[in-house]
Amino acid sequence: DIVMTQSPDSLAVSLGERATINCKSSQSLLSSSSTNNYLAWYQQKPGQPPNLLIYWASTRESGVPDRFSGSGSGTDFTLTISSLQAEDVAVYYCQQYYTAPLTFGGGTKVEIK
Amino acid sequence: QVQLVESGGGVVQPGTSLRLSCAASGFTFSSYAMHWVRQAPGKGLEWVAVISYHGSDKYYADSVKGRFTISRDISKNTLYLQMNSLRPEDTAVYYCGNAGFGSGTYLPLEYWGQGTLVTVSS
């Protein structure tokens, strides 16, 4: 199984500042037949289901603010919130969908400093 | 708009069975793979199972393999999760989700339901 490791477990960032979340997979998520990395990012606010933010490692889902961006390839990926807003307080998860079982990272809780 | 509505959760004793349902609307149900994902109280997300758009391919997490069965009824636009031999560690909110952006099985979950709570306790 592919193990997804997120870091840090939590971080506190001042409003308007940058937040960076890392995700590392135990094997490459880059398809040999394409240039796609099978990596998604989700945001989950308390009491709500997760919400898809980013897929193919860097493609922003429709309606997601452009302050959210994804980067990385192979085994190392990053979610960046360029200017943290109050409504961004949430837990963020990475997920690999390269192969079954699909697996999630442990989550990163983002709070306001 | 896309709607996914889970039902069937409740409180059950260890060793018993439960069937969850996920009613889908607002999209062509037969064209998309469907997933179940669960979340234990206060914990992270755990992927449970996926079924391909045609229903022939099914994959499971190791933790539920042999006990849970995913299925779909195209005529009813409904996804199911049959859960047998339930254990206390199966206690969680169970979400269904559709694999967006095409008919492939290995795609992210674009839409999610609100979830249904399953509690396994004696």
Any idea what DSSP says for residue A21? E
**Any idea which residue has 């999760």 for tokens?**
B81
Contact assignment for B45 to A55 by CB distance below 8 Å: no
Helix (H) or strand (E) holding B62: none
| B100 pLDDT higher than 90 | no
SS3 of A102, please?
coil
Distance from C-alpha of A94 to C-alpha of A43, rounded to nearest angstrom: 9
Comparing CB atoms, the residue among A97, A101, A107 nearest residue B107 is: A97
Q: What percent of chain A has pLDDT over 70?
A: 100
Q: H helices of chain B, where?
A: none
Residues 50-109 of B with CB under 8 A from A: 50, 59-62, 95, 99-101, 105-109
pLDDT band at B102 (very low <50, low <70, confident <90, very high): confident
pLDDT band at A39 (very low <50, low <70, confident <90, very high): very high
pLDDT digits (tens, 9 = 90+) for B42-65: 999 999 999 999 999 999 999 999
For residue A34, the model assigns a pLDDT of 74
Q: How many other CB atoms are there within 10 angstroms of residue B61's CB atom? A: 20
Closest Cα partner for B64 from B30, B87, B45?
B87
Q: How many other CB atoms are there within 10 angstroms of residue A99's CB atom? A: 15
Chain A touched by B11 (CB under 8 Å): no
- Give how far the C-alpha of residue B79 lies from the chain's centroid of Cα atoms, to the nearest Å: 7
